[in-house]
Chains A and B, each alone.
Chain A
Amino acid sequence: MAAIEVQGLHKRYKATVAVEDVSLTVEDGEIYGVLGRNGAGKSTTVEAVAGLRRPDRGRIRVFGLDPRRDRRRLRQVLGVQLQDAALHSALTVTELVRLYRSFYRDGADPDELIDRVGLAERRRTRFERLSGGEQQRLNIALALAGRPRAVILDELTTGLDPEARRQMWATVEELRDGGVTVVLVSHHMEEVERLCDRVALIERGRVAAVDTPDGLVARAGLEQVVRFRTAAPFDPAVLDRVPEVRSVGTEDGLVTATGGGNLLHAVSTALVRADVTALDTRFERATLEDAFLALTGSPFDRSGR
């Protein structure tokens, strides 16, 4: 059985359709990315999974539970970190973790939890005096207070500086290593590419594609490029018989080979066989962002939250 199953989810707010038709399956123990533009329907989808929104149509199960009917059981197995939700601002880290822990019969040890998210030094600091990264780490700790089997992390690293972001990534990887299923809502490409086992691309309320980050890049069919210079004049015929290479060009001594598959390896091997010494070798392949563009047919908007 999957950890989370969504089938045919549809949700509209008055005249606006937020989610047209979303189906996805999150396996137990994976980090599942939900990637899309602002307004694509990501948050509405996870809010429906968390039982905060009533779907107009569709079926949702979280470890076999209906999020609306089995609310109370759901809360014990699903931890949620919401996008920009505040906490009691005048309470300290320890006070907040103890408070949220008290809502559950079984749960994590508050002090261990604080250590685990790296806030041991800030135990006695009030929420309002924590940095953005520290507040987010506290949010993760609170989502874990009931020792859930799955957590939803919505826009976890938005607004964090690169160092804080990297720390958060390490924390999320530790979660998976501890057996917790993670649903990561994001529009940060590098984050999704680095962390997620599988990614659902949500576009205009529909699932455009589901695959591993590498799979999405491959699926987009974008070409890879190898560029190099050679000490001696280069004969392009050397690469003619390499199946991965689609085209070769030479300009001012710079050779450009494009193609697919394991292009870099194939080109390097062919050059070694032909006894050609390549200098300044550069490899370019499409990123998840390029794949996103190719798969959804429009540019990705980085401007939003």
Chain B
Amino acid sequence: MTTADTLPARRPGPRAWLALIAAEARMVARDTAGLVIPLGLPLLILVMNGLGTADTAVVDGVNVFERYVLPLVLVIVIATVGVVNMPSFLAYYRKAHLLRRLAVTPAHPGMILTAQLAVSAAQSAVGVALGVGAAMTLFGVGLPARPWTALGVFALAALAMYAIGMLVAALAPTGNAAAAIGLVLFFALGATGGMFGSTDSLPRPLAAVGEALPFGAAVQAVGRAWSGLPQEPGHLIALAVAVLVSSALAVRCFRWE
């Protein structure tokens, strides 16, 4: 019999990455309830708001739909995917020892995190395409006035939501706990960020806090880019801080088992 120390020390190749991404995609696609919220809820909010705001569409030369409603809808997509869905999968994988199972194969459990991130990004892209498509066909919304700014700001907002999601996944002991924590966070961020009506109706300090939190900051920043208004640095700083703080904490707290 021979020793095994002459074997090449191989890492899993691109085929393994593709297979894992396909596995995560199937997990997400077959979780029907998990698809309704990020794809269905934003569309519903879009249509209801679209019907309600049709006759007050332009205020002070700004299209209310482009400035508030569509940005809100797009941010709901990335927040539900990033803050609620993704962490519940990852926390379940840890709780059910799936990460540990993967650790005894040549695949590193970190690969599953990356695959889940990629699938979440794809899911967000589908939600965004649905939202923007519906807004254009049903309510005559045009492309963003500053398309590159809008894209960049939106990517930053998505990163912030995923970073918060990773933190939730790091802290939550089970998949259910992750979904619960994620939902509470989503509603708290959403409520202070304009999800249930304009932040003008909130007490002023609360509205200010909401705009400094990633949800409110994202709605504002995306809305300004879409309407062609200049960016306010505060919103971008708020998003960048959310990315840095959440991911640093997530890396610190994350446990494989």
Choose among B5, B101, B105 the residue that contacts A86 (Cβ–Cβ < 8 A).
Answer: B101
> Chain A, 63-80, contact with B by CB distance < 8 Å: what is the 0/1 string?
111000010111111101
What are 10 A-to-B residue pairs whose CB atoms are below 8 Å? A52-B100, A72-B10, A73-B4, A76-B7, A76-B10, A87-B101, A90-B27, A91-B23, A95-B23, A103-B16
B104 A52 Cβ-Cβ under 8 A = yes
B19 A99 Cβ-Cβ under 8 A = yes
A105 within 8 A of B: yes
Of A3, A82, A85, A87, most B-chain CB atoms within 10 Å: A85
Choose among B15, B27, B30, B96 the residue that contacts A85 (Cβ–Cβ < 8 A).
Answer: B96
In the A-B complex, list the 7 residue pairs whose CB atoms are closest, starting with the nearest.
A64-B3, A86-B96, A102-B19, A63-B4, A85-B97, A85-B101, A80-B104
What residues on B are CB-neighbors of A1 within 8 Å? 1, 3
B98 within 8 A of A: yes
> Chain B, 12-30, contact with A by CB distance < 8 Å: what is the 0/1 string?
1101101110110011001
B23 A99 Cβ-Cβ under 8 A = yes
Binding site for A on B (CB under 8 A): 1-5, 7, 9-13, 15-16, 18-20, 22-23, 26-27, 30-31, 96-98, 100-101, 103-107
Q: Which residue of B lies closest to A62 (CB)?
A: B4
A228 within 8 A of B: no
- Interface class of chain A by DSSP: loop
> Chain A, 38-65, contact with B by CB distance < 8 Å: what is the 0/1 string?
0000000000001110000000001111
Shortest beta-carbon distance from B74 to chain A in Å: 28
Of A3, A78, A105, A149, most B-chain CB atoms within 10 Å: A105
B26 A90 Cβ-Cβ under 8 A = yes
What residues on B are CB-neighbors of A33 within 8 Å? none
Of B4, B7, B20, B97, most A-chain CB atoms within 10 Å: B4
Interface size on A, residues (CB 8 A): 40
Asked, given contacts A75-B104, A90-B26, A146-B106, whether A103 binds B12 with beta carbons under 8 Å apart, the answer is: yes
Binding site for B on A (CB under 8 A): 1, 3, 28, 50-52, 62-65, 70, 72-78, 80, 82, 84-91, 95, 98-100, 102-105, 126, 145-146, 149
What residues on A are CB-neighbors of B22 within 8 Å? 99
Q: Give CA–CA (A100, B30) in the complex, Å.
A: 20
Q: Which residue of B lies closest to A150 (CB)?
A: B4
What residues on A are CB-neighbors of B106 within 8 Å? 72, 75-76, 103-104, 146
Shortest beta-carbon distance from A30 to chain B in Å: 13
Q: Which residue of B lies closest to A29 (CB)?
A: B1
Asked, given contacts A73-B9, A91-B23, whether A102 binds B98 with beta carbons under 8 Å apart, the answer is: no
What residues on A are CB-neighbors of B30 within 8 Å? 90, 126
B98 A87 Cβ-Cβ under 8 A = yes
Beyond the given pairs A84-B97, A85-B96, A86-B96, 20 more chain A to chain B contacts, judged by CB atoms under 8 angstroms and listed by A's residue number, are A1-B3, A3-B1, A62-B4, A63-B1, A63-B2, A64-B4, A70-B4, A70-B9, A75-B104, A76-B7, A82-B97, A85-B101, A88-B23, A90-B30, A90-B31, A102-B16, A103-B106, A105-B13, A146-B106, A149-B4
B13 A50 Cβ-Cβ under 8 A = no
Q: Give CA–CA (A75, B11) in the complex, Å.
A: 10
Q: Give CA–CA (A84, B22) in the complex, Å.
A: 24
B97 A52 Cβ-Cβ under 8 A = no
B15 A76 Cβ-Cβ under 8 A = no
B27 A28 Cβ-Cβ under 8 A = no
What residues on B are CB-neighbors of A85 within 8 Å? 96-98, 100-101
